[in-house]
Chain A
């Protein structure tokens, strides 16, 4: 057995990688900016007085395009990875995916409704109209998770295995309704739906960022506080209860966290697969399963990986761009298979 990385070493390495990814995400893009211009633009954006000559373009691209996109990537990556940890803790299975309780499929259903039938919904007040898709996706994710949770409750307790089955069934049901909407959709809606299902950080703007950043901050602050309780939960629900953990409350909080986190991430960036599954797994391989380390490390690693995937997505097909979900799944799925094969030998 190879010795685990000391948490301190891991956090220093992940922290550096995180900072590097942020810098690369600000510095790299289809428009090539001189390194110094990027640096000056960043400094100017954070309020440091610098000479502003010729800075207009750099500041526009860094400030209006790359910075909101980077923030979106950081938040989505961190929240998806944390939700993955929470889900794997809840199901006490290191290979659980945050989509298991139906958040993603519910969000996809909400998005399909918004894209295909959005015009006939039309009831939103004017300032919210541009956010129809995000609002529907968020509501769909929360709604389906609430149903799955409700189905898993019996005699004041939540049965995780019932939730798993209910999640599978609800995902299938949502899938068939999405199929119906796909059938009814015209070509343009169909393509929008397809692209949404592949996820993208493209088109990030500050106005759309705030709700996600709030949810993200809440999840990042709250989940690590329950790290030791999550550790105990891995022993088993009754074992955790005997250790004095209020298991029912913990499960409720975890589900709420996952629903809010994944719901907000998906509403902001579409479906981005495998981050929630792979990142916690990777972190555990490096440092062991202690949640006091795994939670913050996964947040850092998730954000880093998503930013790197996004840099790839925006560069590889420039001036067009690849949906990021393609990149994450393309990297994530072979890695997952590698873990499966390795775990068996």
Chain B
């Protein structure tokens, strides 16, 4: 369980994240929405210990995040950044196997998990390829497999933080990726995912946090957050919101 209370972050004397309360609970998937510059990535950086918050502690299993030692924290918490730069010709399975670095579960178990994670990210067919020969979308899926492998299978409430994991993906893989993440949450993992696609967020997340200039504009279920008024106020966008004909979750349509 990852908890932040009254979280605040200052950067160059400016408040970029103000007064955020959140809890990532096992089995739950929290979507973070907001326009560019709303503080989504900064919030994530604070939640994974990359940035020290100026206000309010971040607690991982009731212990402040900065008191965790590196490998132990890494076994509990994995982070997928927006983009990664790797300019060495590692093979796909080597990249994914790096997710197993904090563990000492043995070569055989690591290989199994690597396979599972690659399969979950729909990247099993990339096995044996050099990372440098992959397309942007394929690379993104390989990194997803890497972070999945790091906290696989997620049954002990491991936490996954994802920053726009679908940004480079085609429509099919946007869904397969989020399905894999959903499956991770359903096994007992806790997920926070930053998304730009409101409908994807509505489709896969249990709860949403709508950020506006570093503050929580709204927080709750997709039905509570994805209202025309809120979206107009935060994004300046005129939308219709209707229930999905088959699934019932809100469907956002631009007017």
Contact = CB atoms under 8 A, between A and B. Distances in A.
A234 interface: yes
Interface string A207-235: 00000000000000000000010011011
Interface in B34-75: 48-50, 69-75
B90 interface: yes
Interface in A48-96: 92-94
B89 A284 contact: yes
A289 B90 CA distance: 6
Given A242-B48, A242-B77, A288 B90 contact: yes
Interface residues of A, number: 23
A192 interface: no
B79 A288 contact: no
A288 B81 CA distance: 25
A235 B98 CA distance: 9
Contacts of B70: 241, 244-246
A244 B50 CA distance: 12
B81 A232 contact: no
B253 interface: no
A216 to B, nearest CB: 25
Contacts of B129: 1
Given A1-B130, A238-B50, A289-B90, A244 B75 contact: yes
Contacts of A94: 87-88
Nearest to A229: B101
A239 B84 CA distance: 8
A155 to B, nearest CB: 10
A113 B35 CA distance: 59
Given A1-B129, A232-B98, A242 B88 contact: no
A345 B148 CA distance: 35
Contacts of B74: 242-244
B215 to A, nearest CB: 25
B150 interface: yes
B9 interface: no
26 contacts: A1-B133, A92-B86, A93-B87, A94-B88, A231-B94, A231-B101, A232-B98, A234-B86, A234-B90, A235-B98, A236-B85, A238-B50, A239-B79, A241-B49, A241-B50, A242-B74, A242-B78, A242-B79, A242-B150, A243-B74, A243-B150, A245-B101, A284-B89, A288-B90, A288-B94, A290-B90
